[in-house]
Structures are given as C-alpha cells and as structure tokens.
Structure 1
Amino acid sequence: MSERTGAQTRPGHRSEHFVVVFAGFHRPWATWIAHRLESHGHRVTLHRWDPRREVPLETALGDLLLASGRLLLVLSDWFFELGPRREGEWSEALRGVVAENADRFAAVNLTNRSLLPATAVLEPVDLWGIGSQEAERRLLGRLSLPTGAARRTLPDGPGTRYPNDPPAVWGEVPRRNARFTGRDDLLNRLQEHLMDAEQGTAVCTLLGMSGIGKTQLATEYAHRFSSDYDVIWWVNSDMRGTQRERLGELAPELGLVSGSEPGERIRAVHDALRRGEPYGRWLLIFDGWDEIDTDLLPEGPGHVLITSRNRSWTTTGAVPLEVPGFQRHESTGYLMRRAPRITAAEAAEVAAELGDIPLALVQAAAWLGESDMDVADYLRMVRDGEFSGLADQGDFDGVPRSSLTSWSILINRLRETQPHAVELLTLCTAFAPGRIPIGLVRHLPPDQLPENLTWLAGDLPGWTRALDSLVNYSVLTRDTRGTVPGEPGPEQESVHMHRLVHDIVGRLTSPDEYRAHRRVVRRMLAAADPGNPQDSRLWPRYAELLPHLEPSGALGSHDRRVQETVLNCLRYCHRSGEFRTGMELAEQVRARWSELFPPDHRRMLDLTAQQGNIMRSYGVFRPAFELDRDILARLREAVPAADPTALMTATSCLAADQRYLGQYGEALQMQRQVLETADELLGPDDYFTLNAAHNLGVGLRLLGRYADAYETDLENLRRRESLLRARHAATLVSGIACARDLRMMGRYRDALARQELGMRLHLQVLGPHHPQTLRARHNLLLCERRAGGFQDVGAAMALLLEQMEQVHGRGHYATIGLVVDHGNHAREHGDLGQARELIAEGEAGFRALLGPAHPITTGMLTNTGLVLQAAGERAEALTMFEAAYAGLAATLGPDHPWVLGCALNAAAGRNFTGRLDGALELSRDTLRRSRHALGEDHPLTLSCEVALAMDLRAVREHEEATKVEQDALQRLTRTLGAQHPHALSARQRARPYWDFEPYLG
C-alpha cells in the first residue's frame, strides 16, 4: 500500500481515511479518485490488489479489512478476472465477507458491461462514460461525503487528468491487448522512473530478447497511463526511414507549421517538445529501436520509452529496464484466461515447459483455447520433439527448444486444417517483419499470382476467414494505424508480424514456396509505387515500401518495373533528406546489380547518378568523385560508343564532384561540355538542360566570375519562370543564385530586394524549414549583413543555426558554413570569445570534411587571422593571412576575389607589424588587380583603395594618400550610400578587412 496524505481539514469537517483497492489495470482511475478525495481534505491509501490464485478469495478480501478506514473497490469486468477465479468463488466471497462488512466496503464501476450479480452488495456507482464533474459528484455521494467545492487546489501531477478524457494527441498506439496479464511491478517501476526523473526528458529503455513482450509492455503502458499525458505518439523504429517519417508526422498533430521534408518536420517537433508547447505532458514510444541514433531523441519535459534488443542504450543515459519472462503465476493466469478449460496445474506445467516466455505462451494459449487437444497430448508433442527440425537450426535469440517446437506444431496443424491461412502467413514472410501492407496483394490481377494464391484476389470471404484465423491464433495482429476511421477495406489492411514469428514461419516454408511468394511481393511493391518521388505528399508510401525491398528480393530483380521502383526509392531518400538510409540502400543495390548488368549499362548509370547525388548531399565528396570518374572512364572506352545521353549524365555528375572537391577550373570546362551536349540532344527547354545551365552558373561563381554567373543565372531564371512556373522549386533555386551573384558583385541593395522576394516565395511554397528555405534564409541574412543597418542579424543567425543543425546535423557542410558566417559576425560586433569558438569549429569542420589543401580550408585561415588580430596577436595573425594568401593564389590564381580579399588582410597584417614597405607594395598590387577583376566601384576594390591610402600615409606619402582616400570616399558614398558601415568606417580611417564566406556551390 502507499498512503497519500491530504491537507488538514477545516474546523467542522470530518476527515476520513479511504483505501482505494484497484487492479493494476486501473491505476489512473485510482490515482484520480485519490486526488479528488485529497482535495476535499481526506487521507487516501492506494492498494493495488492482485491476489495469487492459491490464496482463497475470502482470505484475500478478509485481509483488506485489516486496514483502517473504508475500502473503495474500483470495479470492472477485468477486476473479476484477477487470479483468474471461477465466478462462483467470487459470488461466495461477495455474499460472505463483503455482505458481513457492508459498512466498510463501497465501489465504483468503470465498465458498461454487466458485473456479477453478487456485486449488488457493494452498491457500485457508475463512472463509465461521464464527465469529471459528474464523476466527482457521484463518487462523493456514494461515500456519503459533502459534494461542495474542494477545500484545496493540489498541484498538477499523476492523477490530475480525468481518465475518461483521452489525450489530445493519440498517435497510432497499437490496440490494447485485452488478454494482457501481469507485469504490474514492471509497469509501476517504469512509471516511477519516468515520473521521478529530474527536470528534462526522462528516457527508459525496455531491454530483452525477441518474444519477451517488450512491445506489449509499451502498448499497455501507453493505454494504462494515458491519463497522465496530453500527447502519446508511437514510432516504429526498426527502419530509420520509417522512424523519421513517423516522428515527423507528429508536426501537424501538434498544430505546427512545417514543410514537407522529414528533417524540417522533425526539427519543428523537437522544438515544440523541448519548449513544452502546446503540450508539456507528452510520451514518445520508439518501438524496436535497435540501431542507436540519439540525434532523434527529443528533449523537454516529457517522457521517452524505447523498446530494444541493443543493450548499448545503457551508455546513452537512458534508464534500462530488463524485461524478463513471466512470473509463474502470471503465466498460469494468462493461460487459464485464454483457455478456460485447462486447470491451474495443467497451466503451470505448460508454462514450465515453455520457459514462461510470453510469445510462446500466447501461441500455446491460442492453440489450447481454439482446439480441443488435451494438454497432455500437447505437452507430449512438445517434449518428444515431433517437429523438432526447427529447433535444431539454432540462432533463435535464446528461445527455448520447446517454444520453437510448439510453433511448429501450430503451423503444421494449420496446414492440415486451414491451408489458406498458412498460404497468407507464408506470403507475409516475403516481407520484412513488423508492419506489412498485406492488402496490396488484392490490387494484383489473378494472372500475376501463382495458381495456389489466385484466391487472394477474388475470394473475399476466404481472405477474411484466413486473416481472422491467424489473428485468433495470435500469429498476426491487425495494424490499423494510418487508415481512415473504422475498419479498413481489404485493400488497405495491414498486419503486424513479430520478427521471431517471421523467422520461425520462414524456416518452415519450402524454398520453392518462398521464391514464388517473393515474386508476388515484388509485383505488389511495383504496383504500389506512385511513380513520383519528387512529390512530398507521396513520401509516406515510399517509406512504407522501403523496408520490404530487400526481403522480397526486389534489389536483385530482373523485372524493369521493380528496378524502377528501387530507383524511385533511392530518389525518395535523396529528396526527403534520408541520406544515410539512401547510402545504405544504394550500396545494397550496387552489390546486386553488379551481378546483373555490366558497369556501363543504363541501369548502372541511373544507380550511379542517384548514389552520387545522395553522397554529395550527405557530404561524402571523394567517394562520389571516384565512383563517377570510374563510370565515365568506362563509358568513354566503351566499344561501340556509349549512348551520348549516358555520357552527358555521367559527365554532369563528375563536374559536380569536382566543384565540391575544389577543382573549379576542370569542373567549369566539363560543365560547359554538358550544357552544349544537353542543348544539342535535348533542346534548350529540357529540365536537364536548365539544370546544366544552373550548374554552369555555380561554376562561374566559384571561379569569382560573378558578372558572368549573374548573366547565366538571370537567363536561366527567366527560362524557368516561363517553362516551369515562378513558384517551382527549381525556379526558386535560380532566384537564390541571382541574389547571391548580385551580392558578390557588390550590388547589396539589389541582392537584398531580390532575396526578400525569394524568401517570401520559399515560405509560401516549401515552408519555413525546408532545406532549400534554410539556404534562402542564410543568403538573406548575408544580404542584410552586407547591406548594413540590420542589428538583429546575429540573433537571426543563431536561430537559423539551430534549425540547420536539426535538419542537417552539426557536421554537414551547410551547417559548418553558417557556423563560420556567424563567427565572422560575432567578431565584427565585438564578441571575440564566441567568434574564436565558432571560427575554430568551422576551420576544423571543413578541414575534416574537405582536407587541408581545399580552397575552402585554405580560405578559412584568413578568418582565423582576423580573430587573432582582434585579440592583439598580430604576428600570429599575419602568419595566417600570408598562408591564406599564398595558398589560394597558388590554387586559384592572383586575380580571384578570394585571393584579393586575403591580400587585403595580409597588407593590413604587414602594416600592423611594422612591415610598412611590404604593406604598401601589396596594397598597390591588390588594388590594381581588383580593379581589373571586379571593377573600380566594387566594394572590395574600394576597400583596397582605402587600405592603400592608409599604407601611403604610414610611409608619409600624405599628398597621394589624401587623393586616393578622397576618391575612395566619393565612390563609396555613390555606390553604397553615405551611411553604409563601409563608408562610415572609411571616414573614420578604420582599416578595412575582408572575411571569407565559405561557399561550396
């Protein structure tokens, strides 16, 4: 028992003591009743009551009378199955012990079903299906207590929510198992761990072997303690792709405005859960999460429950709870409820033989409950190993031999009595375990089914009988998640198959039958392919198909439709941001297709293109380059000559790799070839041609040819607006490119105006957290920074960085680039500590990602030098400036804008360290080259001119210095405006600097 003490009562009101007696099934009701009684000034003791079968019921009821106070029984039809006990035993006890002590007993009723007639002696008051205020009034009335207002307001906590009020969000939790037995101690420990955890997210992991009941425990916890939560969301986690899709689906349920990408939806969900808005009491259940990835774990005031076989969760801070087999009394209680004809002794014998493993007991109870086989005959077959071949195969995660034999008995008996049920069951083994969209088979015409399975498409009564039989025998469970309210039609039906059952049935299936069923499933997957992985509305369907590709043999199929489905699933991974899953899938496909096709086959080229896209998006640049380089070399050497379109596609992929690897000149030359070929073969209006033109603009921009890039991008933007539409995602990308070109050309106000428009369109079309929207926002912040006058850019950068990290991860190149820009802004505004930290992180990140010789890595040295210079470490800063200048000049040539910017900083470093002649010489040369490369009015050119005036003044060339300075000020005022920060700094004779914005394309 656990006592809950209420407040002291006011004078004139008598405080009473109540013992609330409940089955573990109804703890939420007991805690709510206690909460309400305490609010009226009474003392309450909660007593979970589940007397062992061997204890006479009259004795157990009599023991309750030993407690002081009145006894309030929380009744339901479940309450009278405790033990379990015969109806007559309950009737005798109620007419005896309870009737003799009627003044000590009272009851509430939680069900609309009929209770035992003898319960009339308890005079139970009905709380089923009514509101909280009426329930409280009836409760107090039954106990003869005043029904006025409560005397005190108790703090929120377990029991404060009315159990009849469902959670505001209920996320596809499996149906409650009406036969769930025992586990009360474990469930109570689980609740205590979650409720008593320190402020912040409480995480518990249910650990145990297959079949031990982890999922059933999690399901029961969600139902039993649902009144403690406003949000309960179930996430199938055996596949990362489906796990992320499912977690992201919580966003609209929370009323969040988010885009269609899983990453953006997950970010929005994590942010809402962390803040506890709109709900602070939430429970997320990750079922079957064996591959640890803590990035998906939410933080906040709620609870997380994980089921897993992976014991490494103990190293992540999650509280581990080992799930053992049933206790013997739980085993016997379950068997006797499911098979009422067997005795307690027989139930104990079966439980001992099966090792008290829940899944084995479920199967045994189903068989003994549905058949008329004697327990002795059943045990004889199990012990004699009549079907022992399965057990001899081993590798069953510690499952006892007897349990495997019992499964063999069931399935072989079903073969004899219900062959259709077994045919449907074995078809399920051609899918992955877990959720199986079995109804898809009914979309196939009979001529695409083997002769023995044609009934699946045309015999609806047979379908229903077979599925019902498998559910009744607890071999499968119906999975109605994601369906419309009510019972789904046969074509929409899904089932859940435990991985252990999947393995057992698979090993009992003949090789010929298994091969035939895999062919059927492959056809089902191809027929279910929506054919448009670019459409985010169809991503849930692709997430559903993805887990079944490998088990069905789709990855090695010769069927062209199946192969296209595989490629579409890869395209889905790329478009939806499932890069890790996509990389793993691409490797599996490559291993299978390499046995089917020569390296230069069109299917291999399509695979390589998709694999390269995923690798580049994930930041794996060198392997993508090697993959594309090898395939292009094969195509060029092919005899007869390869398809020109295939050559063009492979060349385009290699050019993209070269851009990311810093091989800008080679990439530009190759991209020109791609565009010329695309224009010739496909025409100027083809989607591929438009993409090739966009990539040409990227290449020109990376080489510092900003005006040429703008001309290319502007023309491509116009064509995309005309051919695609103004709000097409590709058109919006061209808008970002044009705004970036304008900014790099020094036309800051024009760039800002264009990017502001583009930002509004991104928000309308793609949503605020789409990766492309984040890229647009990043560019907008840079435009605002360069345009001047925006004081909140730093705060906006910090917010965007948080969003980027949620979508891409901290180590992604897009996130690292924003880290650097945020660090530059922090240094510029005097936060040297934050700047040092962020710039160091950015430099290390790019070095690890790109290598030490990449232009981006080299350019980062000048940002490090600016931090050192601001800290007064001028000699160290000069070393960084000179290294960046020399390194980039050797790689990109002396006239690249990045080189000119590094030269500007190096001249300042020389000046600050007393090397005045060297500074003057470098400043003169840099200004000359900048005028040639960027034009006389470019902001970088004008900064070089201001710097030259300062170096002239330092060597006492005052007349020339004044002339150069006045020209620079006039041009700055005309170009940027008199109040622009650059113009103001020049008037104050502050030394100009150039910070490096890392850009990969």
Structure 2
Amino acid sequence: MLLIFLAAGSVVAADHFRRQAHKAQALVQAREMAVRAKQVGFEREREAHSKARELKQQAQHDANRAETLTRFLISDMIHDLWPGRRRGRPLTVRSVLDHTAARVSHVFADQPRTAASIHLSLGESYNVIGLHTRAIDQLTIAVNRRRETLGPDDPDTLVATSLLATAIGNQGRYAQALQLHQAAFEGLHENCSAQERQVLMAQHNLALCLLRMGRHAESLEHFQRILVDRVRTHGHEHSDTLKAANNLALCLKGLGRTDEALTISHKTLALRRKTLGEDHPDTLSATHNLAQLLSLKQQHAQAQLLYERTLQIKTKTLGPEHPLTLNTLHNLANAHYRQGQFEKSRQLNEQVLAIRRRVLDTNHPSTLKTQGNLGRTLLKLRRLPEAEAQLRSTWQLQKSVRGAEHADTVLTQHALARCLSANGQPAEASELLVGVLAARRRRFGDRHPSTLWTLRNLVTSLIRQGKWQEARSPAEESVRLHREVYSDDSHQLASSLVEHGRILMHTDQRSQAMSHLREAIDIDRRKPAKCCSLRSTAESLLAQSANPDGPAT
C-alpha cells in the first residue's frame, strides 16, 4: 500500500511540476513577446522619427529651391532685364533665354537637379523658336546632370535624352538622333517606374524621327499604337491625340495612301479649329499638312490659299526666318510650280534657299530639298545648264545625307534624268531612270502615279536613243498599267499610247500603231483642256502610219 501511495504521489507531483513548467514557459514566452513588442515599438518610433527628419529635410530642400528660384527670377533675371540695365539692348525671347542660360550653372551650382530642370526647359524653348544648336547645348547639359544625379536609367534622364534626340534631328542629323530615340524609348518602356505619358512621349518622338527619315512603314506602326493609347487615355479631342492623328496622316501620305491621309487630315483640322482656334500653331500645322495632300490630289489653287493664310500667321507669330515659316514658304513655291507659275516659284525657292543655308546649314535636308526644287524650276524655265548643276549637286549631297533610297533623293534623281534627257544626254538619263523606277516600285508598287510617271519617262528616254526593241516591253507595260489605273479620258493614258504607237511604227506594226494613235487623239478631243503638243504629235505619226512608204520618225 505504501508503494502504491508513494507511486500515486509521484504521479501527482510530476503532473504538478509539468503544469508549473508550462506556466513558466508561457510566462517566459509572454515576457519575450513583450520585449519584442517593445523593440518593435522602438523601431517604429525610430522609423517615424527618421521619416519625419527626411520629410523635414525634403521640405527644407524644397523651400531652399523655391527661395533660390524666386531670387533667381526676381533679383537676377527681372532686375537685370530692366530697361536701365539693358542699356538699349532689345528685349526678345532669345535675349531672355540667353541671359538665363548664362547664369543657371553659377546660381544653382549646389542644386544640380534644379539646374538640370532649368537647362531642360531652356533647351525646349530654344527648340520652339528654331535655335536648334543652342537647344542641343542646353539639353546636353540637362542629360549629363541627370545622369550624374539620378543615373542613366532614371525616367527623367531618359525623357531628357528623347528631347535631346529631337533637337539633334531638327539639325538633320537623323541617324544620330535615331540611336538616342531608340535608347530613350526602350529604356522607358522597360522601366516599371516610368509613367505612361513619358513612354508615349518617347515613342512619339521616335516615330517622328522615322517619319523624317522616310521610313514610313515603321513610323506608321508606332503612330497607330500611339493613337490607340491616346484615345484610351485622353479621348478623341485632346491635343496629344490630334498630334498623333496628324502625324499618322503624314505616314499614309508618304506611303502613297493619299485618300486615307486626306480623311484623317480633314478630321484633325476640324477638331483643332474647334478646340484650339484658327491661329494656334497645331492648327496651322494641320492646315499646312492638308494643303500638301490637296496638292497631291491636283487641287493646287485650294492648296495655295491654305499655304498663303498659314504663311501670313506664321510670319507674324514666329518670324520670317523660323524653320516652320520656311516650310510653308517652301511649299507655297511648290504650289506655284504645279500651277505652271515657274518664275514665281523660282523667286520663292531662291528666297527660301538663301535663308535656309544661313539659318540651318548648307547640307541640312530641308536646304537640299529647296535646292532640288529650285533645280526643277530652272528645268521648267529651260535654263538647262543651271538646272543640271543644281540638280547634280543636290543629288550627290542627298545620297550622302539622306541615302540613295530616300524619297527626296529619288525625286532629285528623277529630275536630273529629265534634265539630261532634255539636254541631249539620253543615255545617262536612262541609267538614272532605271534606278528611280526600281526605287519607286519598291516603295509604292507598280500602279502608283509616281511609278507610272517614271515608266513613261524611261520609255521616252529609250526612244530618244533609238532603242526601239528595248523600249517595247516597258512601253507595253506602261499602256497596260495606265488602262488599269487611269480613266479612259486620262492625259497620262494618251501620252503612253502615243509613245507606244511610235515604237510600234518602228517595229513594223503599223496597224496597231494607228489604233493607239487614234485612241490618243480621241482622248484629247474629249478633254476640256487640250494638249496641243500631244495631239499634233499623234496626228503627225498617224499620217506617217497611213503612208507605209514614208519614213517613220
């Protein structure tokens, strides 16, 4: 019994000790939790104090920045620009920008991020007024400062890089600009901290660079995506949406899709007039682009009116030598050219060329474009030696600056070929035309008016060399394509029929030649505006065809 009692007591005691141990363990855990809670509380308190100090420091930094900016604007800028301190120097936008640019680095030496933002704003402002070299200087400083303070991959650094690329592109240095545009867009696109507006801005600038380089298909893909995103985020009437639509129309124009471009251009201009007013720069840009498209649709008088109105406003608001003003004056010269007013076109082209050589550069793409237009105008005025010199020089420079396949280069090559043909050098002309035809087939396809025009010119050049057999195949293709593309009353079709008829006569196919020539004469009879040279040529050839014993010419 005693053993049983002792055993029972041991069990009870063991159970008691276990309960006490559990209580002690729980007490220890509770104490540990209390200690940890106290430590967490201390850590959170320290974090709160640290955050408060950071906020205080940031607030003090912002206050110092605001004070420095205020002092810079009032004490330095406005005070220095008072009439008495300017000493008779005129107060212009450029003088204000120059004065600011000269003082930023000194005043904000201890605030590099603030200085970078001001340099960025100065660069954008110089760009707007057409001073691209000064814009590049300021934007380069902004990019370098942001790389030093924020790092090369920070969104603000990449935004500044995109703006610098735009300024470089405005100087015509498109290859260099494209590399920077691609780096900025790709960096922002892959950066999760970048805002959507920053990504779209960089993509828009990249697409615009591709457009200016003549890479219309690539540019179109970008602008189509940009337009969808702009409509989603801003709606159809926002200025950024309309800017994307305006540039989309230019891409379509470059691809020869003129009707699609016209539809978008009309809509864009109407919305810009509604939301911005008639004289807003974006409205003027849309008006300018619509005029270009109307000119492509042979509505030259209407295009001229739009150019003249746009030129008047741009001259008043931007000045007569601003790049955008010169763009409109350049296209006004084209409008006069297309209406047969060649002397007026020559005068305007010479005016634009002189200013562009001085303001932009001798080798700037816009300068070369005007030089090419002047050469074409001199060709129309039959000033052939001058025309050949201008066109040959322009073509060589454009091949170097723009590339052999660029639309501007090909257009000048075509004009040079026509000049050589008119000046009794048909062999070299034919060689150039073969290259133009191949380039335009690649860009536009076989049925585009520019391709068909080149094909007709090649046939004419081969005829002038007496290469009747070689001319036969392109002449047959020309007639076939003109029948498919143009109406039965088309002057272009009549011209291709006359040339093919001439070839058929020389290859002893007089019956078919007479059929072609009669059809060409009938087309000319039906047209309100007669082409005397075409009809007289066709009638002369027809008379020869009717006399098998007579010589063919």
Q: TM-score range by the shorter chain?
A: 0.7 to 0.9
Number of the residue aligned with 2:257: 705
1:986 counterpart residue number: 534
- Aligned partner of 1:962 in structure 2 is 517
8 Å contact from structure 2 (residues 253, 293) kept in 1 = yes
Letter in 1 for 2:155: R
For residue 541 of structure 1, the aligned residue among 84, 96, 99 is: 96
TM-score by length of 1: 0.43
Q: Using the alignment, how far apart are the partners of 2:513 and 2:424 within structure 1?
A: 27
Q: Structure 2: how far apart are the matches of 1:842 and 1:576?
A: 27
Q: In structure 1, what is the Cα distance between the partners aligned to 2:478 and 2:233?
A: 44
2:503 aligned with 1:950: no
**1:807-818 alignment to 2 at 5 Å?**
807-818=359-370
8 Å contact 1:554–1:563 — kept in the other structure?
Answer: no
Q: How far does residue 707 in structure 1 lie from its aligned partner after superposition? A: 1.7
Distance in 1 of aligned mates of 2:206 and 2:478: 34
Residue 434 of structure 2 corresponds to 882
Give the distance between the partners of 2:66 and 2:260, measured in 1 at CA: 59
Structure 1's 868 and 615: CA in aligned 2 closer, same or farther, altered over 3 A? same
Higher strand fraction (1 or 2): 1
1:645 is displaced (CA, Å) by: 2.3
User: Deviation at 1:585?
Assistant: 2.8
The answer to which structure has the higher helix fraction is 2
Q: What's 1:621 paired with?
A: 174
Unaligned residue ranges in structure 1 (runs of 5+): 1-443, 464-479, 495-535, 991-1001
Residues 766 and 701 of structure 1: is their aligned pair in 2 closer, same or farther, counting only changes over 3 Å? Answer: same
| Offset, 1:574 | 0.7
Q: CA deviation at 1:937?
A: 8.6
- In the alignment, structure 1 residue 793 sits paired with structure 2 residue 345: yes
- Contact conserved, 1:636 with 1:647, CA < 8 A, in 2? yes
* C-alpha contact 2:155 2:194 (8 A) present in aligned 1: no
**Aligned residue runs from structure 1 range 23-172, under 5 A:** none
Indicate conservation of the 8 Å contact 2:129/2:322, yes or no: no
Matches for 1:132-281 after TM superposition, within 5 Å: none
Task: Tell me how far 1:929 sits from its aligned partner.
Answer: 4.3
- The answer on whether the counterparts of 1:920 and 1:952 sit within 8 Å (CA) in structure 2 is no
Q: 1:836–1:693: structure 2 CA closer, same or farther, 3 Å change rule?
A: same
SS of the aligned residue for 2:243 comes to helix
The CA deviation string for residues 101-134 of structure 1, in whole angstroms up to 9 with x for no partner, is xxxxxxxxxxxxxxxxxxxxxxxxxxxxxxxxxx
Relative to structure 1, the CA distance from residue 656 to residue 945 in structure 2 (aligned partners, 3 Å threshold; closer, same or farther) is: farther
Q: Which residue of 2 aligns with 1:723?
A: 275
Instruction: Give the AA of the match of 1:580.
Output: T
Contact 2:116 2:145 in 1 (8 A): no
1:931 Cα offset (Å): 6.5
What RMSD in Å do the two structures reach over aligned CA positions?
A: 3.5
Separation in 1 of the partners of 2:483 and 2:257? 13
Q: Mapping of 1:293-692 within 5 angstroms?
A: 448=67, 483-485=82-84, 538-553=93-108, 557-559=112-114, 562-638=115-191, 640=192, 642-692=194-244
2:224·2:248 contact (CA, 8 Å) conserved in 1? yes
How many angstroms does 1:758 deviate by?
Answer: 3.2
From 397, 403, 406, the counterpart of 1:854: 406
How many positions carry a matched residue from both structures? 466
1:720, CA displacement in angstroms? 1.1
Q: CA, structure 1 residues 854+446, in 2 after alignment: closer, same or farther (shift >3 Å)?
A: closer
What is the CA–CA distance in structure 1 between the aligned matches of 2:217 and 2:519, rounded to whole Å? Answer: 35
Q: Distance in 1 between matches of 2:410 and 2:306?
A: 31
Alignment match, 1:936 = 487
**Cα distance between partner residues in 2 of 1:867 and 1:628:** 39
CA gap of 1:482–1:566, structure 2 versus 1, over 3 A, is closer
From the superposition, tell whether residues 595 and 937 of structure 1 become closer, same or farther in structure 2 (CA, over 3 Å): farther
Q: Which has the higher contact order (CA 8 A, sep 6+)?
A: 1
Equivalent-residue separation in structure 2 for 1:908 and 1:717 (angstroms):
41
Describe the shift of the 1:552–1:457 C-alpha distance in structure 2 as closer, same or farther (beyond 3 A). closer
Inter-CA distance 770–581: structure 2 relative to 1 (3 Å threshold): closer
Deviation at 1:615, TM superposition (A): 1.2
Q: Which moved further from structure 2: 648-657 or 715-724?
A: 648-657
The answer to whether the Cα contact below 8 Å between 1:636 and 1:642 also exists between their aligned partners in 2 is yes
Partner SS for 1:851: coil
- Asked whether the equivalents of residues 369 and 408 of structure 2 are also in contact (C-alpha less than 8 Å), the reply is no
Unaligned segments of structure 2, at least 5 residues: 1-62, 506-511, 539-553
Decide whether the 8 Å contact of 2:365 with 2:398 is kept in 1. yes
Q: Distance in 1 between matches of 2:323 and 2:234?
A: 29
Cα deviation digits, residues 594-642 of structure 1 (max 9, x gap): 233354533124312321221111101011111111222233434x475
Q: What displacement does 1:959 show? A: 3.0
Contact residue 936 and residue 942 of structure 1 kept, 8 A? no
Q: Deviation string for 1:421-461 (max 9, x for gaps)?
A: xxxxxxxxxxxxxxxxxxxxxxx999947xxxx9x999x9x
Change (3 A) 1:542 1:931: farther
- Once the two structures are TM-superposed, the CA of residue 882 in structure 1 deviates from its matched residue by 0.5
Q: 1:930–1:701: structure 2 CA closer, same or farther, 3 Å change rule? A: farther
Deviation, 1:557, is: 1.8
User: Structure 1: which amino acid aligns with 2:282?
Assistant: A
Query: 1:792 and 1:873, CA in 2 relative to 1: closer, same or farther beyond 3 A?
Result: same
Normalising by the residue count of structure 2, what TM-score does the alignment of the two structures yield? 0.75
CA contact 1:924–1:948 (8 Å) conserved in 2 = no
- Same amino acid, percent of matched pairs: 20
Equivalent residues in 2 for 1:760-839 (5 A)? 760-789=312-341, 791-839=343-391
Deviations for 1:632-685, whole angstroms, at most 9, x for unmatched residues? 2233434x4753322222221221122222322111121111111111112222
